[in-house]
Amino acid sequence: MVLVPDGLDKVWRAQRLLLRQRYDECIEICSALLDKNPYDQAVWYLKCRALTMKNYLDDTEIEDEGVAEVLLDDNAIAKLPRPGTSLARPLTGAKSGGASQGVRPVSSSGRPLTGFARPGTMTRPGTQSTDVRGAFAGNRPGTSRPVTGSDRFVRLGTASMLSEPGGPFIAVEKLDLRKYAARPALARVLCDYVIYHDHNPKKSLELCAIATQLAEYKDWWWKARLGKSYYQLGLLREAERQFQSALKNSDMVSVTLELCKCYVRLDQPNTCLDAYARAGTNHPDEPQLELGKARIHDAVNDMAQSVTCYKRVLSIDSSNVEAIACLGAHHFYTDQPEVALRFFRRLLQMGVSSTELWNNVGLSCFYASQYDMCLSCMEKALALANDENMADAWFNIGTIGIGIGDLGLAYQSLKIAVSIEAKHAESFNNLGVLELRKGNVDQARANFQTAASLVPHLFEPFFNGALLAFKLGDFQESFELCTKSLDAYEDHSDSHELLKQLKQHFSTC
């Protein structure tokens, strides 16, 4: 296609290309124009905007926390909060209204796995008594590297620097921000540029502060950006104040979402829910608010509430993938695989096609006794799989193998799972059980130990190890493992039973 068709104004063309998300072409035109006339503000505006949008990242979602954030987090209010009032201490057991841990696996923070993987669902958002080792180990599959720096921003920032030949477009450090702040149109794009392209919250903070002042503290947008800058700098209380102030000026959904993100980082789930609820009364048709609520309920392990929220999301936006996925997962783990299957099938019909989804469809089919379907679904899952999720798919095939009694298939699948991802603890655990059936006691023990050392929040390897040790007569080890199993899952009745037997044994001899 021609960059600028005959007879068209270049600026007009650049503006349209910008709206069409054809940023590179827009930048090309603008660069050419700026070469001729470097003081053309309109072109500067367009190029600035194009560069910003090219690197734009919707940051209303919860993001990964880097090592520094996890380790140097001092936002915790209470060291030992009551259950349900902190993300660090989710509700447990029967109060949650969800499936028990024995049925629904948990993430490393002791929360049931959600049906939808967002940044932050696998780790704990908010405060956590994490040790250095845990923080540095990282839990992204496929890499042992932790998330570094201040989230994704730093890395994306360096990438955007690299892509620009001839140095950065705007040398923010050299600008007289006061001068720009007085020109509303330029100031706003500059601010977005600094935040999204340069990832320099310090500078944007400066700009926002001046601009807010010039706007006589009446402009919600500048306050929201001020809050965003504070948030990115980790000054959560200041950010909260700015967002609240912005909301007073104008009730915007995006600001509410950012405020709630702030509360999540501050580990105040209940305040966060209040904020969502307040916004929800004004914006009853906004699914993001309900979704946020559902996520918080999810995070504090209040499954019943979260499911109602997800259902409400679906009544507003019937094609919300996250809600469908989470409801599907919920039904699956509450022993309604047929219902779960319908949810997952809906996702398939909507055009989602991923390993995880096929995997879930396969498993739902299996538990709904539709054996003819499940293996072909798993086949598709494998065909779509990459290194990160292939191990899970094989693990599930192993589970199906165990379920239908084809232990050979199960054994081989689990072996493959382990060969793909050497840190797949669940596979090690199941392999241990299979080895035990084969009579390879040493192998089984080694497998349980590996599994337990890889993922200490799973209770199964501990319990299996304890049981094996008990049968081998190693009561001391059995006792230790049993205690650890109960640490991971305090309501596990089999562990309690075993512990009782052990105690009886110890007291008699």
Q: How far is the CB of 15 from other proteins (least distance, A)?
A: 6
Q: How far is the CB of 482 from other proteins (least distance, A)?
A: 27
Query: What separation in angstroms does the CA of 5 have from each of 10, 14, 47, 275, 351?
Result: 9, 12, 19, 50, 37
State how far the Cα of 102 lies from the Cα of 293, in Å rounded to an integer: 26
Residue (24 or 490) nearer to other proteins, CB: 24
Q: What minimum distance in Å lies between the beta carbon of 358 and other proteins? A: 9
Minimum gap (Å) between residue 19 Cβ and other proteins: 6
- Identify which of 480, 473, 474, 472 has the alpha carbon closest to the alpha carbon of residue 452: 480
Question: Tokens representing 54?
Answer: 């090219």
- CA 341, CA 326: separation in Å to the nearest integer? 12
Residues 6+ apart with CB under 8 A from 469: 445, 475, 477, 478, 481
Binding site for other proteins (CB under 8 A): 1-2, 5-9, 11-12, 15-16, 18-21, 37, 39-42, 44-46, 49, 53, 58, 60, 178-179, 182-189, 219-221, 224, 250-254, 257, 283, 285-288, 316-319, 321, 346, 348-353, 379-380, 383, 408, 412
Indicate the residue among 11 and 137 with the shorter CB distance to other proteins. Answer: 11
Considering the complex, state which of residue 3 and residue 68 has its C-beta at the smaller distance from other proteins. 3
Please say which residue, 57 or 67, places its beta carbon nearer to other proteins: 57
Residue 486 CB, shortest distance to other proteins, in Å, is: 33
Residues in the chain: 509
Select 27 or 498, whichever has its Cβ closest to other proteins: 27
Q: How far is the CB of 321 from other proteins (least distance, A)?
A: 5
- Indicate the residue among 49 and 203 with the shorter CB distance to other proteins: 49
Q: Quote the least distance from Cβ 197 to other proteins, whole Å.
A: 15
Tell me the two tokens of residue 230: 């504070």
Closest CA to 195 of 243, 220, 160: 160
Q: How far is it, in rounded angstroms, from Cα 26 to Cα 68?
A: 37
For 267: left if phi > 0, alpha if psi spans -120 to 50, otherwise beta; the answer is left
Supply the minimum distance, in Å, between the C-beta of residue 114 and other proteins: 18
- Smallest gap, in angstroms, from Cβ of residue 319 to other proteins? 5
With respect to other proteins, which residue has the nearer C-beta, 220 or 230?
Answer: 220
In 3D space, the residue among 340, 343, 279 whose CA is nearest the CA of residue 314 turns out to be: 343
Closer of 74 and 176 to other proteins (Cβ): 176
Greatest CA separation found in the chain? 99
What does DSSP assign to residue 6? T
CB of 186 to other proteins, least distance (A): 7
The CA distances from residue 147 to 59, 63, 87, 411, in Å, are 16, 11, 20, 34
- Of 394 and 489, the one with the shorter C-beta distance to other proteins is 394
For residue 471, count other CB atoms closer than 10 A to its CB.
11
Q: Shortest approach of other proteins to residue 255 CB, angstroms?
A: 9
User: Which lies closer to other proteins via its Cβ, residue 349 or residue 493?
Assistant: 349
- Asked whether 284 and 278 are in contact (CB, 8 A), the reply is no
Distance between CA atoms of 221 and 224, rounded to whole angstroms? Answer: 5
Which residues 6+ apart lie within 8 Å of 246 measured at CB? 220, 221, 223, 224, 227, 252, 255
Smallest distance, Å, CB 224 to other proteins?
7
Shortest CB 257 distance to other proteins, Å: 8
Q: Give CA–CA dist 484/408, Å, rounded.
A: 31
Taking the least distance from each CB to other proteins, the nearer of 336 and 412 is 412
Structure tokens at 291: 């979704």
How open is the CA angle 490-491-494, to the nearest 5 degrees?
105
Q: Compare residues 250 and 453 and give the one whose CB is closer to other proteins.
A: 250
Return the structure tokens found at 496. 């309690």
At residue 106, φ and ψ (nearest 5 deg) are: -115, 160
Amino acid at 315: S
Nearer to other proteins, 196 or 333 (CB): 196
Residues paired with 106 in a beta bridge? 112
